[in-house]
Amino acid sequence: MRKESRWIRWIKWIVIVTVLFLLGFCIGWFAKPSNTQNHKDSSHYLKDFLGEMKADKIREHLRKFTQLPHLAGTEQNLKYAEQIMKEWQMFGLDSVEMVPYDVLLSYPNESQPNYISIVDHLGNEIFNTSLAEPVPQGYEDISNIVPPYSAFSAKGQPEGDLVYVNYGRTEDFSQLQREMGINVTGKIVIVRYGKIFRGNKVKNAVLAGAKGIIMFSDPADYWADGIQPYPDGWNLPARGAQRGNVLNLNGAGDPLTPGYPAKEYTYRFSPEDGVGLPNIPVHPIGFHDAILLLNNMGGEIPPNNWKGALNVSYRIGPGFTDDFKSQKVRMNIHTNNQVTRIYNVIGKIRGAQEPDRYVILGGHRDAWVFGGIDPMSGAAVVHETVRSAGRLLSTGWRPRRTIIFASWDAEEFGLLGSTEWAEDNARLLQERAVAYINADSAIEGMYTLRVDCTPSLHTLVYDITKQIPSPEEGEEGVSLYESWHKRDNWTNDRDAPRISKLGSGSDFEAYFIRLGIASGRARYTKNAKTERYSSYPVYHSVYETFEIVEKFYDPSFKRLQAVAQVRGALIFLLADSQLLPLDVNEYAESLRKYAQSIAQLAQKNLGKMETYKVSFDSLFSAVENFTVAARDFHGRLQTLNKADPLQLRIMNDQLMYLERAFIDPLGLPGRPFYRHVIFAPSSHNKYAGESFPGIYDALFDIENSADPAKAWEEVKRQISIAAFTVHAAAMTLTPPA
């Protein structure tokens, strides 16, 4: 052999050896199982998941679950629970179980109907309000339609003069007593529905000394211009009335077992010691009946903002005009409280890598009557989400984290099913829950999307809605984000669709405000700028049928489909993303706005603030501290080695526990189950989510305080608690050691 050829041979050998070695190395490297599952197809799966959700299927589900009334605690609602359980099992969830609790519910007495009378001087009932709403066509043969009533009303037959108190808000009663000089002690008050939660109206009436309270739906608040009453349109018929509970639970759940799940062995308070039960009769009526009660009222004519849209003068009383002075109003209320078994349905998809991290999609199933909108438009959406998730499972997908689906019972009686389950599972949820997505009514209007959520979910909501098509006709190719953005821009400061704070009034309450789990809700809504009625006209009436959705709210069911996709994408990405899609910078930004806004509210009393040395500096400084911690945390996320399962878990834990950090175990003053220092309903309206609610309430109380020095001390204390909490939350974002 020639020398040259030998060289070439050597080179060949070296090349072969090297190539083989590298080949072996590479195969060895990649053959070794990595602890971080490469979840290559997550976005592909998301597409399949969303694509699988069908408008027609949602229509089917809604039709199926609105055939019969299914009030909490009734046989029919148990039947629907069993059906849902069976279908979720069929859809392919890993487990589905029925979880019962025995809670205090409230029903009209079947042999003694509730009504309100005008009685003459002999005590004869010369006018009685309707015993029931006229049943809509097609439902005439249905039994078990509960007549309009106020759940948990005290029993009784108080008789007396009426006093009209507008919406029954704290400020209305205050105006009545201070400016108009009217004392309602021993009177029956009549207020219109709207603006605030009805339970707050009842509480105000009790505090003012009234011996009964009547609530009516005024067309000013429950009527859309140019729309026919149901069944020809979606307005509330004159004889329609709004059912609803009138509790002041402040998050306690079952009134007899506050803080603990209502199980068989659980100690129950006697009804006198129960939480939030009113001690006076309460009853709701439609505007047809309201006219007849208001018509002859005497007393002064109120300011214009006390006047509704009825053809009456809205005189405040007390009592009727001279001509009818001997007539009184009598309430006849025989409603019973009774401990009753309720049923949650809980379905699970076990997480592949982190089974001990929970993402929850929950919504209620119980309805006042058919629940066409509330809640079944939401429950149908959940049902379709479960079906779609089941399909995905069958194609080999399994989420990184555990997904829990819940069909709650007895929401209408005070969020009871969801709260009892939260109490039952508090330890697990506290340590393990990543997020709670609420699924009450999916539609309350025909205009655009509405999202209320914790600030850390803002970015995810935007990302998601950009991937979902608009359901509106004529908006083919337009994303839900664009459609929403066009209709409801946030503010002048922020060019993005508006996202609101969470208040209360639905099942997320225990998860968000008591336990501090990042929460959100999404639904289709009305145009808040032009449609000024509260919720939607037929809310909690017998006219909430399948047909009202099919004919008016969403004939194509594409709006519900879009809501299903939003809710579905939220749980999908929260459960399946390697890194939790929670944005700490958004939380910082929101805290900054909230701090400014609460400080501004206090500025109304600038002089007093100086007198009592009240300063928001500590709060601003805490927010600044949080902002820096969030920015640094976000920076570290960029360099996180996601292939290291422990490092990933550690940062995900920091993200998960951020919301928890805002929980004060001592609770807000007088409200031990409202523990979120950043978000809670005002004490004066359960529906209104306030930021820094402790400070907000303390400022509110200054107006009415007999001891302003003490009231301002409370403001200072609340500022200090808020500042501490924000500092403490910032600490959770710093490197753990």
If binding is defined by CB under 8 A, does position 355 make contact with a second copy?
yes
Binding status of residue 513 toward a second copy by CB under 8 A: no
Query: Considering beta carbons, is residue 558 or 716 the nearer one to a second copy?
Result: 716
Q: How far apart are CA 70 and CA 372, in angstroms?
A: 11
> Beta partners for 119?
125, 328
Comparison of 396 and 665: residue with beta carbon closer to a second copy? 665
User: Nearest approach, Cβ of 381 to a second copy (angstroms)?
Assistant: 24
Indicate if 288 belongs to the active site: no
Cβ proximity to a second copy, 552 vs 712, nearer residue:
712
Quick one: 261 or 681, whose CB is closer to a second copy? Answer: 261
Write the binding mask 334 to 353 for a second copy: x where contact by CB under 8 A, - elsewhere: --------------x-xx-x
- Give the C-alpha separation, 548 to 532, whole Å: 20
DSSP 331: E
In the complex with a second copy, which residue's Cβ is closer, 569 or 723? 723
CB 209 within 8 A of CB 183: yes
| Least distance between a second copy and beta carbon 661 (Å) | 5
Which residue, 181 or 670, is less far from a second copy as judged by CB?
Answer: 670
Query: Could you give the CA distance from residue 314 to residue 238 in angstroms, rounded to a whole number?
Result: 18
φ, ψ of residue 735 in degrees (nearest 5):
-55, 140
Q: How far is the CB of 693 from a second copy (least distance, A)?
A: 17
Whichever of 253 and 319 has its CB closer to a second copy, that residue is 253
Using rule CB under 8 A, residue 427 touches a second copy? yes
Residue from 426, 496, 640, 702 touching a second copy (CB under 8 A): that is 426
Query: What does the alpha-carbon distance between residue 342 and residue 363 come to, in Å, rounded to a whole number?
Result: 15
Q: Is 626:729 a contact under the CB 8 Å cutoff?
A: yes
Q: State which residue, 498 or 649, has the beta carbon closest to a second copy.
A: 649
**Ramachandran class of 332: left when φ > 0, alpha when ψ lies in -120 to 50, beta otherwise:** beta
Q: 324 vs 620, which CB is nearer to a second copy? A: 620
Please state the closest distance from residue 509 (CB atom) to a second copy, in A: 16
Residues 596-655 that bind a second copy (CB under 8 A): 617-618, 621, 644-646, 649-650, 653-654
595 contributes a contact to a second copy by CB under 8 A: no
With binding defined as CB under 8 A, does residue 261 bind a second copy? yes
Site for a second copy in 7-36 (CB under 8 A): 17, 20-29, 31-32, 35
Q: Give 27 or 579: the residue with its C-beta nearer to a second copy.
A: 27
**Tokens describing residue 699:** 């400022």
Considering the candidates 383, 458, 676, 684, report the single residue annotated as catalytic: 676
Helices vs. strands in the chain: H and E counts, helices first:
22, 19
Answer whether 317's CB lies under 8 Å from 299's CB: yes
Closer CB to a second copy, 424 or 550, in the complex: 424
Candidates 176-184, 196-204, 257-265, 602-610 — which segment interacts with a second copy by CB under 8 A?
257-265
Is residue 736 a contact point for a second copy (CB under 8 A)? yes
CB 615, min distance to a second copy, A: 9
Per the residue annotation, which of 172, 411, 412, 586 is the catalytic one? Answer: 411
**Range 696-725, binding a second copy (CB under 8 A):** 716-717, 719-721, 723-724
Residue 200 Rama label (left phi>0; alpha psi -120 to 50; beta): alpha
Nearer to a second copy, 186 or 259 (CB): 259
Q: How far is the CB of 142 from a second copy (least distance, A)?
A: 40
By CB under 8 A, residue 260 contacts a second copy: yes
Residue 92 gets the label, from left (phi > 0), alpha (psi -120 to 50) or beta, of left
Interaction between residue 354 and a second copy (CB under 8 A): yes
Task: Give the SS3 label for residue 404.
Answer: strand
Binding mask 79-98 for a second copy (x = CB under 8 A): ---------------x----
Q: What minimum distance in Å lies between the beta carbon of 430 and a second copy?
A: 8
Site for a second copy contains 271 (CB under 8 A): no
- Taking a C-beta distance cutoff of 8 angstroms, is the pair 676, 658 a contact? no
The type of residue at 621 is S
Residues 664-683 that bind a second copy (CB under 8 A): 664-666, 672, 675
Instruction: Give the helix, strand, coil percentages of the chain, each rounded to 5.
Output: 40, 20, 40
Q: Which of 500, 615, 621, 720 is catalytic?
A: 615
Nearest to 68 by CA among 345, 362, 363, 376: 376
Nearer to a second copy, 266 or 459 (CB): 266
63 is a contact residue toward a second copy (CB under 8 A): no
Which of 40, 181, 226, 267 binds a second copy (CB under 8 A)? It is: 267
User: Which candidate in 531, 653, 664, 713 is catalytic?
Assistant: 653
Tokens 């059906």, located at residue: 83
Least CB distance to a second copy at residue 699 (A): 15
Q: Which two tokens mark 150?
A: 């106020």
User: With left for phi above 0 and alpha for psi between -120 and 50, is residue 183 left, alpha or beta?
Assistant: beta
State yes or no: is 540 an active-site residue: no
- Using CA of residue 334, residue 337, residue 338, residue 341, what is the dihedral sign? positive
Smallest distance, Å, CB 7 to a second copy?
19
With beta carbons less than 8 A apart as the criterion, state whether 135 and 145 touch.
yes
Concerning whether 334 is annotated as a catalytic residue, the answer is no
Smallest gap from residue 49 Cβ to a second copy (A): 19
615 is a catalytic site residue:
yes
Question: What does each C-alpha distance from 666 to 99, 514, 676, 694, 730 come to in angstroms?
Answer: 29, 11, 10, 12, 20
Sign of CA dihedral 83, 85, 89, 91: positive
Work out how close the CB of 320 gets to a second copy at its nearest, in angstroms, rounded to a whole number: 47
Near a second copy by CB under 8 A, which window of 359-367, 384-392, 550-558, 726-734?
A: 726-734
Q: Of residues 396-415, which lie at the interface with a second copy (CB under 8 A)? A: 402
Please give the DSSP secondary-structure letter assigned to residue 453.
E
For residue 187, give the nearest of 215, 208, 156 by alpha carbon.
208
Terminal Cα distance for the chain, rounded: 68
Distances (CA, A) of 624 to 393, 629, 665, 719: 44, 9, 24, 15
Q: Are 724 and 620 in contact (CB under 8 A)?
A: no
DSSP 401: E
Q: How many residues make contact with a second copy (CB under 8 A)?
A: 70
- Count of other CB atoms within 10 angstroms of residue 291: 15
CA distances from 623 to 141, 589, 641, 722 (A): 60, 9, 29, 10
Residues between 167 and 206 that touch a second copy (CB under 8 A): none
Query: What string of DSSP letters covers 229-277?
Result: BTTTSSBPPTT----EE----TT--STTSTTS---TT-----GGG-SS-
Q: What residues make contact with a second copy under the rule CB under 8 A?
A: 17, 20-29, 31-32, 35, 94, 259-261, 263, 265-267, 348, 350-351, 353-356, 358, 402, 424-428, 431-432, 617-618, 621, 644-646, 649-650, 653-654, 657, 660-661, 664-666, 672, 675, 716-717, 719-721, 723-724, 728-729, 731-732, 735-737
Q: What residues are labeled active site?
A: 411, 615, 653, 676
